Amino acid sequence: MHDPLMQRFTEMLAHLVGLAPTPSNPAGRQAVREYMIGWLIRLGFDITEHGDDPTSQVVIASRGGKGLRLGLCGHYDVEEAGDGWSTPPFELTLQGGRLLGRGVADNLGPLVLRLLVLETLGRDTPTAPLLWVLQGEEETGSPVAHALYPTLPWPQVDLWIEETGYFERDGAQRFLARDLDATGQRVVDALEAVARQAGRGFTIHPRYLNKAFGESRCPFLTHLVRGRPYVALGPNDPDSRIHHIGESLAPDNIRFAMTQFEILLTAAMNAQTPTQI
Ligand SMILES: [Zn+2]
């Protein structure tokens, strides 16, 4: 069945993978950063950029709305390809029913799907207020983010959203969540309901996403989340092979992650904010 949204997703992701935004390719990182900024401006976000080096600047994008403020985290760099790929790592390739390419799961695919959901809704459709933080050095330990984050004036975020999340091989959702309050739990209930409607299992794991440099070295967790409500939401699964050869995503999970991201934007808008209780 032809799915125009997946077609669009594939074209955008192929473009970003082809830019090869690795630590050794600063021009590629800069190009992906500029691509993201262009999209975010068209979607109605206000942008600020921080840091001196244009290939590793932190981008903070914010947009108003109603309800809980969601904080989205992500990064526009990807790990080096490494040796041993059976497909060209910087050409998005459909093989064995999966989309392969360096960075598709960590985290170019999740970035693209969030942009597309926002575009599909249209910038005049109200959503929850959004704060989207993008950094360009996740794969090298995030020195710029670690230096900058403690110095910036952050607005209160009601629910932080990790750069991606996970499904099991059978399609069940392995939902990571920490420190939820009552309103955050209502948002999670809406996400669980749509998973169950889609015939997927749903299990909450009270922990953060595993990080290449460890939790204590992740600037998002140490400087921004800091015990605030947190969930991980996105299309990855045990075959995504982040940082390894053959990194890939399953189209079914991408499509469902789009649905769930849209539910998130609406559920957070309709959940009461803690100050209103
Ligand atoms: Zn990542």
CA of 2 to the centre of ligand 1 (A): 30
Q: Output the CA 57–ligand 1 centroid distance in Å.
A: 16
Q: Are 122 and 49 in contact (CB under 8 A)?
A: no
pLDDT tens readout for residues 198-235:
999 999 999 999 888 888 889 999 999 999 999 999 99
Domain count, the chain: 1
User: Measured between alpha carbons, how far is 91 from 191 in angstroms, rounded to an integer?
Assistant: 33
pLDDT at residue 1, as a whole number: 59
pTM over 0.75: yes
Distance 249 CA to ligand 1 centre (A): 14
Tokens linked to 275: 């100050």
Extended strands (E) in the chain: 46-50, 58-63, 70-75, 93-95, 98-100, 130-135, 159-161, 166-167, 173-178, 202-205, 230-232, 248-249
According to the model, what pLDDT value does residue 214 have?
A: 84
* CA-wise closest residue to 195 among 170, 212, 178: 170
What's the confidence (pLDDT) of residue 123?
A: 84
**Burial letters 186-198, b for 16+ CB under 10 A, else e:** bbbebbbebbeee
Q: How far is the CA of 276 from the centre of ligand 1 (A)?
A: 34
CA of 13 to the centre of ligand 1 (A): 16
Residue 113 Cα to ligand 1 middle (Å) = 15
C-alpha 269 – ligand 1 centre gap (Å): 27
pLDDT of residue 277: 45
- What's the CA-to-centroid distance between 20 and ligand 1, angstroms? 15
Q: How far is the CA of 275 from the centre of ligand 1 (A)?
A: 32
Q: How many angstroms is it from 277 CA to the middle of ligand 1?
A: 35
Intervals of the chain under pLDDT 50: 276-277
Res 273: pLDDT: 52
Cα 245 to middle of ligand 1, angstroms? 15
Domain that residue 65 falls in: 4-276
CATH number of the domain that 198 lies in? 3.40.630.10
